Structure 1
Amino acid sequence: MVKKGATLLLVLAVTVLFGVVLASATADVAYIYRKAYKIDDNILKVFNESNITYELIDERNLPVNFANYKLIFVGDENFRYENRILVNQFPSVVANYYHTNFWGFTDAEGVSQLGADNPLDVKKGGQIIQVYTQGREYPGGPSVVYYYLDTEDKAPGFQTVAVTQTAVNVNLDGDVISYANPGTPLFGGKTQQAKLCFFGIIESDYWTPAAKELFKQCVGFVGAECTIDTDCQAPQFSPGFCSNGDLYRNVTRYTCQATGALKKCIPNQTIEFVENCPLDCQNSQCIGECERDSDCGASGPIDGLFCIGKNITQTFELFTCANASTSQSHCVAEISNKTNKTCEDACVNGTCQDIRCFTNSDCSDSNVSTLDTCHSPGTVQSFCTNEPIACSNNQDCGIDGFKGAPFCTGKNVTKLFESFTCHNPGTASSSCTSSQEQRTTQQCSDICINGACGSIRCSKDFDCNDLNSSTLDQCINPGTLSSECRNTPMNCASNSDCGFTGFLGQESCSGTNIVKTFQNATCSNSGTLQSFCTVTQQQKVLEHCDKICVNGQCLNTACASNLDCGDSNPLTYDQCVNPGTVISECRNTPINCASNIDCGSTGYVGNEYCSSDRNVSKNFQTADCVNPGQLHSYCDVSIEQQFLNRCDFACYNGACIRCDTNIDCNDSNPNTVDLCQNPGTISSYCTNEPATGGNITCRKNSDCGTNSSVGSRFCAAKDISQLFQTWNCNNPNTVQSFCSTNLITQIIQTCPEFCLDGSCVNIKCFKNSDCSDGKNSTADICHAPGTPQSFCTNEPTTGNITCSKDVDCGVDTSISPLFCSDTKISQLIKTWDCKNPGTVQSFCSSNVLIDLIQTCPEFCSDGECVDIECFTNKDCDDDNSQTVDICANPGTPESFCTNNPIEITCFEDSDCGLDGFVGNPFCFANNVTKLFQQFECNIPGTPQSYCSTSVSEITTEQCTNLCANGQCVPEQGECTPGQIRQCGTNVGECRAGINVCFTDSTWSTDCFGETSSSTEVCDNLDNDCDGQADEGGVCGGGCTNECSSGNKRCNGNGFQLCGNFDSDTCSEWSTLTSCLTTEICTEGTCVPGQPSCTNDCTLGSRECSGDGYRLCGNFDADSCSEWSLSTSCSAGQVCQSGQCVTQPPACTNDCTLGLPE
């Protein structure tokens, strides 16, 4: 984002320079802004990268037709015309703090914001996403915040996309990113009519790539023309056309495809087959083959009679014209068999024949004990016989099955099985026999007792060995039918079951120390159910670095802080670039000022001048160095007016003079004429000559007359008013003295009800309607209307008419002399009116009005128009800023003006200096910046004019990649200066180092901190870093490495380490080290992870399942307990409470208990 402190003038210049404003009415985005310098360049960059066009629209140019755009973007500004930004009616992306309540997104509480010391995260779909690169704008500075719609404040229809995420346990819950679809209800009775995205991650200067992607998704949601293909318009079909004798048409189908950040409907045209023409295609239609059936051939039989089953049949051919007399007509020939007759018994050679029987069932006599036979079936010679039989199947002789109770034969459960057999079944010679045999029904694994199996699970603990060293094997009730095995999981049997003891991972840095993690794994109470693992890890210091530690290696640096770069020159800014790194360097950049003295002197400047008629002033200059000693230091020179002296009489051109008007020469002697000679100049002087050659008209106001009331009181609305005459002596005590008078209207009293003839009165009525009694048969009359003597009568409608016109009441006449009111000559006039003329309700009324006689072109005095050239110096303004304008003899007919030349400091800004850049360029916010000095003429064209100057930071070039030393570093280099990348390898004994990017954007050829490969020797190490240890026969043979020493791998939910753990010289995998239940194994290392399973049962518990039982334990590779497979109980046993118990065999009492036999 452009530095917000930049001036509007420069922002507009940069805008034109880089072509940001796209003046196109068909742009994708309408970007609304209030201040040009607040346009977010990062947002525009995203639009450009995504091939999204935009138009920058000043809110003062609203409204516009937003239907011409795919979406509206509203940034974080306090707009004046938010009602013209129609985010509720058109697709919009809103990144704004100020107006969400107006648009209905939130209640009166508005938008909330969140900041922290560390970079902020959001949570989206259970995933934590870092959205800012830093927590504060600079160390100790303001937090980099984002906005969110608090859950309690937002409109309920919003769909949450990403929510707040804090590192501390505080109750902050709201949408940082939220969507609204058309139809979503909002606050204030509003309804969202188009897609909307609220995007609260507004500090784009600190966006992570993930935040940038979230913004693109927000824009994609709002501005997408479609989501899936079915959102696009239906296919469009062209008229048919002929091709290769068949009918085709063009089909345009639309698919939803991503173009940049927005999905659009893309047309795709194909040719589609419509119809296969039987003959040909002409004029976009198929040509037909026939018009009637006879055009295709004669229908009829084509063969003689024959038999199909019992049917006498003949073959026919039928010709048909399908779609006759149309372009789709064609001939169809069908061959079919038609039945002429169905025979009762049989059809032979196309004729019907009588037959006695066809099958034995035709000879049935409905007697199951006889054999029904059809002889010569299906012939004319067929006949039936019915012979007696003994049995037809084995079931006729008896049902096979077990007989009697079970008994034991050795370890087998045995029963007698009887079988029945029908010999010569279904014939006259059939007969029945039966036989018995012993059959084994169950083979007992241990013993057979009373016709049932008994089970002995185990006789000693060894019988229960499950070959798992991590379980305790026990035989319960050994050697009995109720014996059972228990294999209870143990935590560990030895230290190795708890994990690897030794150094883990790679070397890393802790401050200036090289450290490495050391793990110690111990099994306590090994081999018992009370065993448990204790695994501890701690950082151990391997080496202390003199300068810095980077990626687990000690490196040298040029400087660690700005103090290391001092050049003892106060007019340079001493800076350590990339402090504490291998590419650190010192820069000593010239600056504008380090103290106030560098900006000029502080004190009086220029000459004295007159700031008023009698005040002498001079300009005072103050020179300040703003941000002294910093890269963006500049001089602020201000000039202000300071009062020096007050003249006794008058001031001219910065000096006191004797006089500029006659009044300055008053000697308080009424017998002299006081005159100012050469007024308003340095050579002015006074003369006080005896008053000879003329009379003094007046010396004071009372010489002209006594101020007093004139005429009688009169009414103005409810006010009792009276004219008041005042007298004024002009130029007193001079031969030019004269008298003037003026009349003003004074309010004496405001009446509570009415005013009449200069008195407050209570009046019964003003007009006849005030006396209405609601009867049409009476004359309602107001007598003496509008007077205190007024009263009402309601007499029958007979009586006299008081007046018929105004003159019947009186003649309008003046009642005062002429007087002045401002520049108007006026006079009081009394007028008469006849009310309800020509009726018995008629009456007379009068009123006093101010009548305008004449408007004077200039001034009015004593009821006459007079010409006076000037009253004050302002009346002598000649519109010339280079003269002093003075009124002589002010307010008299003898008044006149003088306009004497004066000296003025400045008339326009250019008189003070030329605006322009000062100092050298420097980098600010990754942009090339310079200081721009502007001069201003204050109070221009007046004696009080003075000059001032101001300095501001101006971005002269926006760097697309990096700014360094006041210049943009181009992107076409290999890398960004200061960037670090890994070089070398970490295989075997090799250790990777780093390449650094120099200021010329090239990578270093040296790999700093690298440990390179060496010749392979027999030491169980991978010296040549090829992934194998001691290869190439360096150890003289004898064994083969299973793996590369130092490698790790996951096995189940644990890990194994590759090393030499036996007496040979080769490497092999270690025993398994299990991860904690809260960890998972990833790339050979136990890391915190969410539990991937849930315990199904309590470890060691049992339950019955089907005809057996099952145990609860950990029988798979996860860390949770589950039920085992079911173990069936032995014959004669049932499961009770998870245990197999012997059930007494079912039996019958042979005798009566207790009776002798």
Structure 2
Amino acid sequence: GEQQRASPCRTRSDCQHVGLNRHVCAINDVTKEKICKEVDCTRHDHCTNGEDGAEIQKCFENKCTKTECRLREHCKEQEICSKNKCVAVDCTLHSHCDQSDGPKRCSATVCEPVGCVGKSDCKPNQLCVENECVTHECLGHLTCEVDFPERCKDGICKCVGRECKKQECTKHSHCDDGGLCDNNPLKYPSFTCYNEVDGVKTCRNHTQCGPKAKCQDKRCVSVECRTNADCSDKKGENAWRCHDENTAKTDDEVNTCYAVDCNKHDQCPTKHACQDNACVPVTCRTNADCTGNFLCNKPDRSDPTQNFCKAVDCIGHKACLDHSNQDCKDGKCLCIENSCKTQTCVTSAHCKGKKERCHNNQCVEAECSSHDHCLTAFPDGNGFFKPAKCFPNCYTEKGRKYCLPKCEIVECRTLSDCDGKEICDKVKNECKKVDCRGHGHCKDKEICFKNVCKPVTCTTNYHCGKSEICENNDCKSVNCKGHDQCDEKARCINHECVPRECTKNDHCSKTAGSFQKCDKIDGKCIDIECIGHNACNTLKLNSFGDDCSEGHCLCLGNKCYKQTCRTNDHCGDMERCVGNTCESVDCTSHDHCDDKQVCKDNICIDVQCRDREHCQDKQICGGQEHNNTCIPVDCTSHEDCENFQGRVVKYSF
């Protein structure tokens, strides 16, 4: 067929316009026409960049040529890439600057002295702002009492707006008569004293509440008694005392009056016995009074004060788990007559075989121990297996029950063992015919209920009216079905239009320094660092401690992240900002190129001329419009026109 004609061009940009990025505009040797000719490269990014061990290359005369560097990252830490050579510089990071003779910052690869680079360069009451130490009265609450002992005695001051300001109180002891200080940092404290909460007097100790009252959760509450004197008006023959936390049997008995005499032990509290009609403390009265593996020993039942807790090997089988014997720690011991005795097994888990069972503390082989052991027990002759289950197979021998599980064939174990309109009765393991096994087996307005198709009003919202939803298969009227049925600042939640602070970012603040976005889950405006890259330019200090005021930061995920560069102005004279990294280029102006070269797309390319001196007599340099070629003219001076006989032509350049 006819060969496709090459794209004609005047300049290389014509080739780029038709999507031919790796082409230049060159003269066809045959047709002498200018056409787009494919080359190895026209830009550096057409060449390898040292990634994954590849060679570092640059595009030189439309060929990828090995070079030392293209990016600053190709050089060592204190080097930059200049004209594809790694050149040592004073610094590339602030940390490269020697701080021993004063703070310095790295400015355009040169360490320059500054007032400060961090708070450590300033005095204790100063902050480093824009590399200058700025003095404040305070930076935190704790320094106020030290620096201003008279004004801020006993910590009465708070650091507000970098000034030590005296408050009514900062702690409860600053308040009189049991008052409390509103100083909860989580609830916007006012640092003022208050003496009542919901009409109830506040307190910090019992004495501030008066008789028959106590301080509980910093509130005065009425009680029957707080001291023994509060029980002096009790009637009866007995003497009365006030229960405290040590004498009360229950929480309810605390702060109640009680009689001190007794007639039997069970009238006394735990670990007390009734002796001479008085409850006296004893080490133990019952086994429950002893902890761990101890029993209550009673050498003299007439004198319970001699009772003591006696150590035994175990009390119950579980106690053997803490025995020093490793078999007991593994659960292979039983507590027999308060002594741990080792057994072959206590549970089937102690048996080594997967199908062994523990019977009468001995391991006995069984056919199966789970249903999965029966999956391949009975082949069906077609390459598959019949459904089977593991049954207990229990029997009684010498008055004891034993079980040796075995596999038995059943009709089904799962739905897959039955036909399409059958279910597996897992109790009987039989296939049972049903009307349906799911809603998909029923009609549009039916549901599968207990395997029977049951007519209902609706199964989806489409079966209901515009202001109705299908709930529990009935149409129910609601205020809304979607957000679009509510006002702009409201959302349809549980089918009710609920007002929100915002539903989109436009409802929130866009003021520089106080950017917000809408949390669409909570419907509230939340503070963020930025919206859009330019918003970062207003930040002297971002959340990572970087200065963004010189335009080096990008807004990513509403946070400002500092970059090497955002514009070419952030890079060196022969660098360009590519992907937020300063990349070395051949040139940024014609002055960076040789005499008969021009800078085009940051590459020096050969041309016929850059000015008239490069051309012959009666020629001028056509400039960029004529691809920097020499153009014949009638004259380059008045003398050339003295004997001219032809037509006058006016050129405009």
| Shorter-chain TM band | under 0.3
When normalised by structure 1's length, the TM-score is 0.13
Whose radius of gyration is greater, 1 or 2?
A: 1
When normalised by structure 2's length, the TM-score is 0.20
